[in-house]
Structure 1
Amino acid sequence: MFYYVEILGTLPEMGKAEVEALAELGVGNVEKVDYLLVSGSVKHIGVFERLGLAHEYGLLLYEGDDIKDILDFAKGLEWRNIINGTFAVRRERMRNCMHEVNDLDKKIGGIIHSQGLRVNLSRPDTVVRVYCGNKIWLGIRIREFKGKEFEDRKADRRPFSRPIALPPRIARAMVNLTKATREVLDPFMGTGGMLIEAGLIGLKVYGLDIREDMVEGAKINLEYYGIRDYVVKVGDATKIEEVFPGKTFEAVATDPPYGNSTTLPMDRNELYKRSLESIHSVLEGRLAIAFPADFDARDVAESIGFKVLGRFYQRVHSSLSRYFYVMEV
């Protein structure tokens, strides 16, 4: 089954890596990238329901370089076998569009309508998607990821709130980059944002934080968003094996504190090193972790025994830039 994913433009390389990780879970791969459109084949397309850094995903029908060819292809399709109910054709002209597609959506809509299917531009049952980039792409939308569903889980919307927390879309992507299928641990869980995203895609979640008020607050947040399969404890991220004796974890996704602070148990860089050592001792698979850009996590992680699979840069504001790392033991 061929798919397409339209990723967000905010962290495009990380978005592409998220699609790659999920495609592998769905027994497939990424074959092509055309600006913000990622495509490939996959056996279980439903795995993309987990996406975070994406606008939508769907079934890919066609890709090519010629307007006439895509129109001929559309004429040859039995659209009644593809479209349920009413339809609308939506065109997306990406920044790298190389073709004249101003009325292509109308022409394809006319072809589909000529086969007896009814148009509904405001609330269609099926959305046919046309993308223009280096190539022209035609697909059927399966799921659109609306911003509101993620915004409703932002830090300031949670019953127990603190101002510093990853945006839910990024937290979701970090969980997906671990390729977790059963469970995930966050040893710096704070108010539980990472665990909320992991729990909502069906993973059992484990968390710890050195502050008891954070642990109690994370419980409140997890319950509020309907997450029931969780274990959260007061504990030190540099001593995970003491908090969960004899336990190893399929995956770890976490966002440690960035600044030096009197609330930290030790120097920031020492905390990072010791927590990486502790994570390595309990991890079975992949780690997704964020660090400020002035910390060279690659050298430290590799000296501990991690293999760094990738990293993705983000400038947050004038005083903070960070990298998101993906590693495995």
Structure 2
Amino acid sequence: MLYVEILGNLPEMAQGEVRALLEMASPEFRIIERDYLFLALKGDKKAFPLLNRLGLAHEYGELLFSAKSLEELYSKAENVKWKNYIRGTFKVDRETMVNCSHLVENVEKKLGAIISKRGFKVNLSSPETLIRVYCGKKLWVGIRERFFKAKPFNERKADQRPFYKPIALPPRVARAMVNLARAKKEVLDPFMGTGGILIEAGLMGLKVYGVDLRRDMVEGAKRNLEHYGVKNYVLKQGDATKLRELFPDKTFEAVATDPPYGSSATLGGRKREELYKKALSSIYDVLDGYLSIAFPAQFNAEIVAEKIGFEVLEKYYQRVHSSLDRYFYVMRT
């Protein structure tokens, strides 16, 4: 059993990202329960390499057990073979979620005392093993495997890159889009802009392919990729509506992209809906797998995509600001 604590800003999309990574790890792995932002998973350590790719998550780890009361938690803790889980010193840390239904003020001390009696040493400042207690509708006890620090993501925000344009996806969202596309070896972004999606994919160890209509964007994306140490890339200046011309002998396993939402000047002189329709058709021609794509809410992407031949699997809403509502879609050829 495993657990993931997801972020609260796009919780449904975050859950979809976890589901996609579990699916890639094993057809038997799945989400079995959600308690606010806590996901209980059927899976084992084979999922760790893929869960390390998470974007919309605080942390993940090994889930030991759940309980419906504090009494049940302490009873179960007495029967855990802690020697199988604790390496070196330990600390018990509590996460009280907004739906917490239990009085958990002293749970760290009481659970810590149970474990200490087994001969393990507490270290509150720098423990080698962190035991996590989540309080929601249920109580959940797990061992943290990895915490996703905010700083590395913040260092990859648009205004921190050598080539900077203000309109860009947050790195965590860009990473989630790559994961939703089920990319295992490679990913194409036909509207790469400054390369935000490609940076995240490249840092996951994927080979990245990017296309943009503007030469300055291609050169700028190259600078950004090199800045973050991404070396395995192919960038082309070209039209996202003519991908087969750009890649005559190539079929991609995954596409993740965020098409422009702006004026005709930023859309190559074309109307927005016309561009989206032609781009979807072009992507379909070079894709054998999954597409993760964002569109403004006003564009009826589902009807257009299904007419082309896509199967629309998932759809996640986000209100960006007063003039932009959008959906993130996951589609399959």
TM-score, structure 1 as length reference:
0.98
Say which of 217, 225, 228 aligns to 2:228.
Answer: 225
Displacement after TM superposition at 1:202 (Å): 1.1
Does the Cα contact within 8 Å between 2:6 and 2:38 map onto a contact in 1?
Answer: yes
Q: Counterpart in 2 of 1:164?
A: 167
Q: Counterpart in 2 of 1:88?
A: 91
Q: 2:313 aligned with 1:309, yes or no?
A: yes
Q: Counterpart in 2 of 1:295?
A: 299
SS for the counterpart of 1:213 is: helix
Query: 1: distance between equivalents of 2:135 and 2:331?
Result: 34
Say which of 52, 57, 60 aligns to 1:57.
Answer: 60
Query: 2: distance between equivalents of 1:154 and 1:76?
Result: 46
Q: Counterpart in 1 of 2:328?
A: 324
> Which range moves more in the overlay, 39-48 or 145-154?
39-48
> Which range moves more in the overlay, 6-15 or 97-106?
97-106
SS for the counterpart of 1:31 is: strand
Q: Counterpart in 2 of 1:286?
A: 290
> Which range moves more in the overlay, 189-198 or 24-33?
24-33
Q: 2:39 aligned with 1:38, yes or no?
A: yes
Query: 1: distance between equivalents of 2:165 and 2:23?
Result: 35
> Which range moves more in the overlay, 125-134 or 70-79?
70-79
Query: 2: distance between equivalents of 1:262 and 1:224?
Result: 29
- Partner deviation per Cα, 1:230-256 (whole Å, 9 max, x = no partner): 101101000001111121100000000
Displacement after TM superposition at 1:64 (Å): 2.1
Does the Cα contact within 8 Å between 2:260 and 2:266 map onto a contact in 1?
Answer: no
Q: 2:238 aligned with 1:250, yes or no?
A: no
Q: Quick one: which amino acid aligns to residue 206 of structure 1?
A: Y
Q: Percent identity?
A: 60
Q: Quick one: which amino acid aligns to residue 293 of structure 2?
A: I
* Long gaps (5+) in structure 2: none
SS for the counterpart of 1:238 is: helix
Q: Quick one: which amino acid aligns to residue 92 of structure 1?
A: E
SS for the counterpart of 1:273 is: helix
Query: 2: distance between equivalents of 1:21 and 1:39?
Result: 15
Query: 1: distance between equivalents of 2:283 and 2:81?
Result: 53
Q: Counterpart in 2 of 1:273?
A: 277
Q: Quick one: which amino acid aligns to residue 5 of structure 1?
A: V
Query: 1: distance between equivalents of 2:206 and 2:43?
Result: 21
What is the aligned-residue RMSD (CA, Å)?
A: 1.0
Q: 2:110 aligned with 1:107, yes or no?
A: yes
Query: 2: distance between equivalents of 1:263 and 1:313?
Result: 24
SS for the counterpart of 1:50 is: coil
Query: 2: distance between equivalents of 1:71 and 1:97?
Result: 17
How many residues are aligned here? 328
Q: Quick one: which amino acid aligns to residue 255 of structure 1?
A: D
TM-score, structure 2 as length reference:
0.97
Displacement after TM superposition at 1:81 (Å): 2.5
Query: 1: distance between equivalents of 2:177 and 2:259?
Result: 13
Q: 2:121 aligned with 1:122, yes or no?
A: no
Query: 2: distance between equivalents of 1:99 and 1:309?
Result: 37
Q: Quick one: which amino acid aligns to residue 230 of structure 2?
A: I
Query: 2: distance between equivalents of 1:5 and 1:312?
Result: 19
Query: 2: distance between equivalents of 1:264 and 1:35?
Result: 40
Q: Counterpart in 1 of 2:238?
A: 235
- Partner deviation per Cα, 1:35-55 (whole Å, 9 max, x = no partner): 101111224121200000000
Displacement after TM superposition at 1:207 (Å): 0.5
Query: 2: distance between equivalents of 1:87 and 1:226?
Result: 35
Q: 2:259 aligned with 1:259, yes or no?
A: no
> Which range moves more in the overlay, 168-177 or 64-73?
64-73
Query: 1: distance between equivalents of 2:301 and 2:147?
Result: 35
Query: 2: distance between equivalents of 1:235 and 1:118?
Result: 61
Q: Counterpart in 2 of 1:4?
A: 3
Q: Quick one: which amino acid aligns to residue 238 of structure 1?
A: T
> Which range moves more in the overlay, 35-44 or 301-310?
35-44
- Partner deviation per Cα, 1:10-38 (whole Å, 9 max, x = no partner): 00000000000001111111111111011
Query: 2: distance between equivalents of 1:73 and 1:37?
Result: 20
Structure 1 runs of 4+ off > 4 angstroms? none
